[in-house]
Chain A
Amino acid sequence: GENVEQHPSTLSVQEGDSAVIKCTYSDSASNYFPWYKQELGKGPQLIIDIRSNVGEKKDQRIAVTLNKTAKHFSLHITETQPEDSAVYFCAASPRAYGNKLVFGAGTILRVKS
């Protein structure tokens, strides 16, 4: 089945700097890759997603890139702010196995002001 690995597990950046989180997946049939932000005590919130027919997608300070050949995708946050501090999860959807999402282990992002 699908396996998603996420790095780094923790990331500390200075306010205003950029943050990059990387994920790799194993199943070439996967074609949908969302990113979720989870704050303490809350449910995951979708922040951006990308489908396999697109290489890059941007939404204000957040962008996601996808390399299908290498089977990896990355989240880029520019001009980080303290409110960006949270746990970020990447996921992949192996459509061949239904609509379930397979999640990475998460990255704790700390933005220091």
Chain B
Amino acid sequence: NAGVMQNPRHLVRRRGQEARLRCSPMKGHSHVYWYRQLPEEGLKFMVYLQKENIIDESGMPKERFSAEFPKEGPSILRIQQVVRGDSAAYFCASSWDSAADTQYFGPGTRLTVL
């Protein structure tokens, strides 16, 4: 029973490039959450998605960041024109449905912006 999968595990980008982070939820889970963890800090909520819908994006920066969870395929967190301050670990979590509080986390993608 595969858990939450994220790829790539490590991503290096130069300033101004685009970063695409992928998340495949646990089997049977249709709810995906993205969190960001800055060095030596806690996790901060970014966005909550269901299939083809963004439910809550209150934690997303207003510019350069976007997320999607298409009908088929993984959820994608996209960061355009990356800056050094985007360097962080990005974690995806999934849950079974909206009534299920329990969120299971993936291993994360560690983004480094040079």
Residue numbers of A with Cβ under 8 A of B are 6, 32, 34, 36, 42-46, 49, 51, 89, 93, 97-106
Contact = CB atoms under 8 A, between A and B. Distances in A.
Contacts of B95: 99
A97 B98 contact: no
Interface of B: 4, 6, 31, 33, 35, 41-45, 48, 55-56, 58-59, 91, 93, 95, 98, 101-108
Given A43-B107, A43-B108, A103 B48 contact: no
A103 B56 contact: no
Main secondary structure of the interface of B (DSSP, over half): strand
Given A46-B103, A46-B104, A103-B43, 7 more contacts: A36-B105, A43-B4, A98-B56, A98-B58, A99-B33, A99-B48, A99-B56
A89 B48 CA distance: 20
A100 B42 contact: no
14 contacts: A6-B42, A34-B101, A34-B102, A43-B6, A43-B105, A45-B105, A51-B101, A89-B42, A98-B55, A99-B31, A99-B98, A103-B35, A103-B43, A104-B42
A65 to B, nearest CB: 18
A71 to B, nearest CB: 18
A98 B42 contact: no
B44 A103 contact: yes
Given A44-B43, A89-B43, A101 B91 contact: no
Nearest to A36: B105
A105 B41 CA distance: 6
A99 B42 contact: no
A34 B55 contact: no
Contact of A32 (B33, B56, B91, B101): B101
Contacts of A44: 43, 91, 105
Nearest to B98: A99
A32 B104 CA distance: 14
B42 A103 contact: yes
Contacts of B42: 6, 89, 103-106
Nearest to A89: B42
Nearest to B99: A99
